[in-house]
């Protein structure tokens, strides 16, 4: 028999919450519609260990807390109260009397929904009753492990993909009607949504959160988000959420000094403060905070059927010194800068997620050189299954921004990544971070004339798509936006009316299909021998060539990063036979200059690049070629 503490709460649940092992604490913390002694109402439960008193206030008591004081039900500071004859839709907050006698009002940390900003109240909301129709997707997911299958992610900011007017956003359902067919047509396997937990400031893009369990009301209700995810799954598209467990914003109604003291953040301001972002770090040494965060990860998977989490700012979580001036540096008990509590939390997070949801994607957005980020925890790793390859991204964007005449002196920028490409399971991200704050759009990073910008972006995308690692592209980049991402407006869809942008859009769609169709590009993505250089040293001509291998097929990539046109360019090939180009980025249909037809290249017994056979072909300037044997797969 389960022993209860009060209002139907079990001693076991409270104990696990205090021990950092309550992985579904949203089932009893926060506001829940319940029946007590035959009467319907709402049970409110909150953690406020240093509070002198906690009261529930809302429209049902004219926001006067004296009527509804909560009971402290255990010595660790969990308060609870059942209020009869109220139900779904009620607005509420907690009125907390702090240890010094002050009175503050706070939103519920476990609220499932909240007022649309600038309102700050929580809303009593039931998440039950939605009838999911994604069983086919769930079965398919178990049969198609991400390591050995295509992973092609489209990153979306829900408030600017499309909008109806200034601050007149598409709802989750309206997004489903437009976004899902578009993503399916373009060939992406997953949508990654930038943070959709409740946040007060639009320009934080959701990275500074007040309601970690509340779906932001900007775009609709929890049930509408459920329908969005369900429709994605019914269309064969997975959903990844950008998740932010490293820090939270300082707004008065949020987690900061929640009971008048630092309970979610640490007491040491040097550790708690995130000066670069103006936020506060979670105190991963508190077991209740660990329960809060791991439960939050589980919540998105259980209640919303989310397929994966992109865990934001891992480097900032694990390094006590990151983005802090020397006077704010602190050290662990061993004298080092590693946040040992954060490292324990991350390992526990991944162990828990994969225990309950073994097919989940856990992607680390990590700019550090921490080893074994994607190794299992039992082997000393952090336990993620993928890591963003920030090094590749930074090197390649730096290289592509160079004038082609300068690239021969920086050849290492396109080859260095292969020295570590198989040290982790990587995703190659071209994300929102690279097209804001004066960094320019991907297209506008490219040097040269109008035509050369498009040619180089096509070349860059071709190399990106064939380099080892899974793929992520930020919305709008698929047609080559000229302007940076404008988070307050929708994407520049009108650019598709212009020939070059429309051709770029067609190119990316075709490239996506080529990636999905060619098993050599993903079947053995994490294995060293899936990649082989043909010629890595051709810095003088700024040309690289390599082979990608699957289980039973191989393909050849040739990329010319110079403005030179090589009329007869010879490369070694691994087998004799007739080869042909599956894609040439200089094709007129993609905005190039050549009307190309499928052409065969018969290999010759001429030793080249360490191979007994070689072929000769035309290599246009600033062009990417994808080549296969005649017997290989075709688009």
Active site residues: 312, 365
Residues 6+ apart with CB under 8 A from 174: none
CA-CA distance, 625 to 556, in Å (whole number)?
8
N- to C-terminal Cα separation, the chain: 62
Token pair belonging to 589: 């249909």
Locus of tokens 């040494």: 285
Token pair belonging to 85: 């004859």
CA-CA distance, 310 to 418, in Å (whole number)?
24
Burial class (CB in 10 A: 0-12, 13-18, 19+), 538: middle
DSSP string, 550-611: -SS-EEEEEEE-SS--EEEEEEEESS-SEEEEEEETTBGGGT-SB-----EEE-BS--BTTB
Summarize the chain as % helix, strand, coil (round to 5).
Answer: 30, 25, 45
What single-letter DSSP state applies at residue 421? Answer: T
CA-CA distance, 233 to 305, in Å (whole number)?
9
CA-CA distance, 392 to 357, in Å (whole number)?
30
Q: Are 615 and 573 in contact (CB under 8 A)?
A: yes
CA-CA distance, 248 to 268, in Å (whole number)?
16
Locus of tokens 């997070």: 349
Burial class (CB in 10 A: 0-12, 13-18, 19+), 185: exposed
Q: Could you tell me where the DSSP H helices lie in 357-473? A: 390-400, 412-415, 442-445, 450-466
């Amino acid at each position: 028999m389960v022993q209860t503490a009060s209002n139907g709460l079990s001693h076991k649940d409270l104990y696990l919450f205090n021990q950092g092992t309550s992985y579904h604490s949203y089932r009893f913390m926060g506001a829940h519609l319940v029946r007590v002694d035959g009467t319907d109402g709402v049970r409110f439960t909150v953690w406020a260990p240093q509070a002198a008193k906690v009261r529930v206030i809302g429209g049902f008591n004219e926001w006067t807390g004296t009527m509804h004081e909560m009971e402290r039900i255990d010595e660790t500071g969990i308060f609870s109260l059942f209020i009869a004859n109220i139900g779904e839709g009620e607005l509420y907050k907690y009125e907390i009397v702090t240890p010094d006698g002050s009175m503050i009002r706070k939103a519920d940390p476990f609220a499932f929904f909240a007022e649309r900003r600038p309102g700050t109240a929580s809303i009593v909301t039931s998440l039950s009753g939605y009838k999911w129709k994604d069983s086919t997707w769930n079965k398919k997911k178990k049969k198609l492990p991400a390591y050995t299958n295509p992973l092609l992610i489209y990153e979306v900011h829900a408030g600017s993909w499309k909008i109806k007017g200034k601050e007149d956003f598409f709802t989750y359902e309206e997004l489903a009607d437009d976004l899902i067919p578009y993503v399916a047509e373009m060939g992406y396997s997953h949508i990654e949504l930038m943070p959709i937990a409740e946040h007060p400031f639009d320009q934080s893009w959701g990275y500074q959160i007040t309601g970690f369990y509340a779906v932001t009301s900007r775009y609709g209700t929890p049930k509408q988000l459920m329908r969005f995810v369900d429709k994605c799954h019914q269309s064969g598209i997975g959903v990844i959420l950008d998740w932010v467990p490293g820090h939270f914003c300082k707004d008065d109604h949020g987690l900061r000094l929640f009971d008048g003291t630092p309970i979610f953040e640490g007491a040491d301001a040097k550790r708690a403060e995130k000066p670069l972002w103006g936020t506060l770090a979670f105190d991963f040494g508190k077991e209740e905070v660990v329960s809060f965060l791991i439960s939050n990860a589980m919540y998105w998977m259980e209640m919303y059927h989310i397929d994966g989490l992109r865990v934001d700012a891992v480097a900032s979580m694990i390094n006590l010194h990151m983005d802090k001036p020397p006077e704010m540096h602190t050290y662990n008990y061993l004298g080092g800068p590693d946040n040992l509590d954060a490292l324990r939390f991350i390992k526990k997070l991944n162990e828990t997620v994969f225990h309950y949801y073994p097919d989940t994607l856990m992607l680390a957005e990590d700019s550090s050189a921490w080893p074994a980020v994607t190794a299992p925890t039992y082997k000393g790793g952090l336990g993620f299954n993928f890591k963003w390859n920030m090094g590749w991204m930074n090197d390649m964007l730096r290289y592509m921004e160079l004038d082609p005449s300068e690239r021969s002196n920086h050849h290492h920028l396109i080859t260095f990544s292969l020295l570590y490409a198989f040290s982790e399971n990587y995703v190659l991200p071209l994300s929102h971070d690279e097209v804001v704050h004066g960094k320019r759009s991907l297209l506008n990073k490219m040097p040269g004339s109008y035509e050369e910008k498009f040619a180089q972006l096509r070349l860059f995308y071709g190399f990106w798509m064939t380099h080892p690692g899974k793929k992520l592209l930020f919305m709008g980049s698929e047609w080559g936006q000229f302007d940076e991402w404008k988070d307050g407006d929708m994407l520049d869809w009108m650019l598709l009316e212009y020939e070059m942008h429309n051709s770029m859009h067609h190119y990316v769609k075709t490239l996506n299909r080529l990636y999905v169709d060619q098993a050599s590009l993903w079947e053995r993505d994490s294995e060293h021998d899936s990649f082989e250089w043909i010629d890595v040293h051709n810095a003088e001509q700024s040309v690289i060539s390599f082979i990608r291998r699957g289980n039973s097929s191989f393909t050849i990539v040739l990329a010319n990063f110079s403005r030179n046109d090589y009329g007869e360019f010879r490369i070694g090939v691994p087998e004799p036979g007739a080869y042909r180009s599956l894609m040439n980025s200089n094709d007129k249909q993609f905005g190039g200059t050549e009307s190309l037809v499928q052409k065969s290249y018969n290999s010759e017994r001429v030793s080249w690049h360490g191979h007994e056979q070689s072929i000769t072909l035309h290599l246009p300037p600033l062009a990417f070629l994808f080549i296969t044997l005649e017997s290989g797969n075709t688009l």
